[in-house]
Amino acid sequence: MSTRTTVITGIGSLVTNDPGHGTGPLGLLTDAAVVIDGETVAWVGPAAQAPAADEHFDAGGRALLPGFVDSHAHLVFAGDRTAEFNARMSGQSYSAGGIRTTVAATRAASDAELDANVAGFVREALRQGTTTIECKSGYGLTVGDEARALRIAAKHTPETTYLGAHIVAPEYAEDPAGYVDLVTGEMLDACAPHARWVDVFCEKGAFDGDQARAVLTAGIERGLTPRVHANQLTYGPGVQLAVELGAASADHCTHLTDEDVAALAGSATVATLLPGAEFSTRAEYPSGRRLLDAGAVVALSTDCNPGSSFTSSMAFCIAVAVREMGMTPDEAVWAATAGGAHALRRSDVGTVAVGARADLLLLDAPSHVHLAYRPGVPLTAAVWRAGIREV
């Protein structure tokens, strides 16, 4: 079967994330060209050697990079929490309990409303260069509502995560053990067919280490791969548990002991940092520098959710990571592309290489550094997802 090919020439600066292909960890090439064949990248190299193609796109000297891989988002919900944010910015502190507000609104919403909300957020992210996005359940907290959330999420992304253990359902406030039984039993049975991952909010006020272990172990036994909300608000067992169970990612990693950092550095578990959460809760940022210096693999993600981080902008996360978390612009861009791909155990995204999916972000800027250098400025010039020009 023949497919249409497109050659993109005039790429002033190309981030390949393939160190074998260019300079530094970003595998940077200048004066480059890329050929798209159908859904995949068919050729990468110097513009002067680019082969002919059916169609031609001139990048005009601008920067091209892999589409962002947002490996942590909560998109299946209804309502918003503007009032809570406003109160917090007026002096109140964040606690995990605010999730219950969104649970009530989500349960009351129709399937069509939830589906439209997810579609809208995926589109919003795509317009900003995000071509892969993970999506969690966790605002239903009943068997039917969690399964519904994952069914809807699966229509929009293959990266679906069962997060029945987001917080103890209000009906089980006096019986958290009973809720863990539900999450590891009937609810898991209903959700596993629609999910790739299992996640748990391991935190004071949510689930302790033993409960989190039970949730993750049950998910693993059903064929799901674990990822963990770990060490966000306080020090705790989440990171060690993630590493011990071979989780793809430990997410947040804001409060880490030296032992936690060493465990991440010595493992295949990615440390996924979510600076939108600290930004939106006026909290202390995680240290990207400390993790990178120790040798951990770091990803950046939005944590897009209505309570603690209502942003879908990976560019914003890059800018904050550079300004507040000790990361260089190169490290932050890598973390938002290749890092996210590692956190989702994907080798077909987060890179511009022959055979990779043709997920490409063209910036209205000559360099990827502008993502941090020009914070808040819309820099998306074009986006291809699986070879199709979407923006």
Q: What does the binding site for Zn ion look like in residue numbers (CB under 5 A)?
A: 303
Identity of the residue, 18 or 303, whose beta carbon is nearer to Zn ion in the bound complex: 303
Identity of the residue, 37 or 303, whose beta carbon is nearer to Zn ion in the bound complex: 303
Q: Least separation, in Å, of the C-beta of 220 and Zn ion?
A: 20
Identity of the residue, 29 or 241, whose beta carbon is nearer to Zn ion in the bound complex: 241
Q: Is 204 helix (H, G, I), strand (E, B) or coil?
A: coil
Distance from the first to the final alpha carbon of the chain = 27
Identity of the residue, 96 or 143, whose beta carbon is nearer to Zn ion in the bound complex: 96
Q: Least separation, in Å, of the C-beta of 228 and Zn ion?
A: 10
b (16+ CB within 10 A) / e for 94-118: bebebbbbbbebbeebeeeebbebb
> Rounded to 5 degrees, what are φ and ψ at 48?
-65, -20
What is the spatial distance between Cα 210 and Cα 224, in angstroms, rounded to a whole number? Answer: 19
Q: Least separation, in Å, of the C-beta of 363 and Zn ion?
A: 27
Identity of the residue, 11 or 216, whose beta carbon is nearer to Zn ion in the bound complex: 216
Q: Least separation, in Å, of the C-beta of 150 and Zn ion?
A: 16
DSSP string, 262-275: HHHHTSS-EEEE-H
Q: Least separation, in Å, of the C-beta of 305 and Zn ion?
A: 6
What is the spatial distance between Cα 25 and Cα 18, in angstroms, rounded to a whole number? Answer: 7
Burial class (CB within 10 angstroms; exposed 0-12, middle 13-18, buried 19+) of 334: buried
> Rounded to 5 degrees, what are φ and ψ at 46?
-65, 140
Identity of the residue, 3 or 95, whose beta carbon is nearer to Zn ion in the bound complex: 95
Give helix 111-127 / helix 143-154 axis angle, nearest 10°: 40
Going by the DSSP 8-state scheme, the letter that residue 92 receives in this structure is: P
Q: Return all residues near 107 (Cβ < 8 A) that are at least 6 apart.
A: 140, 142, 145
Residue nearest to Zn ion (CB): 303
In terms of Cα–Cα distance, which of 377, 338, 369, 371 is closest to 67?
Answer: 338
Please answer whether residues 149 and 174 qualify as being in contact, where contact means their C-beta atoms are separated by less than 8 angstroms: no
Six token digits for residue 379: 């820099």
Q: Least separation, in Å, of the C-beta of 137 and Zn ion?
A: 12
Identity of the residue, 260 or 303, whose beta carbon is nearer to Zn ion in the bound complex: 303
Identity of the residue, 227 or 357, whose beta carbon is nearer to Zn ion in the bound complex: 227
Q: Least separation, in Å, of the C-beta of 225 and Zn ion?
A: 17
Q: Least separation, in Å, of the C-beta of 1 and Zn ion?
A: 40
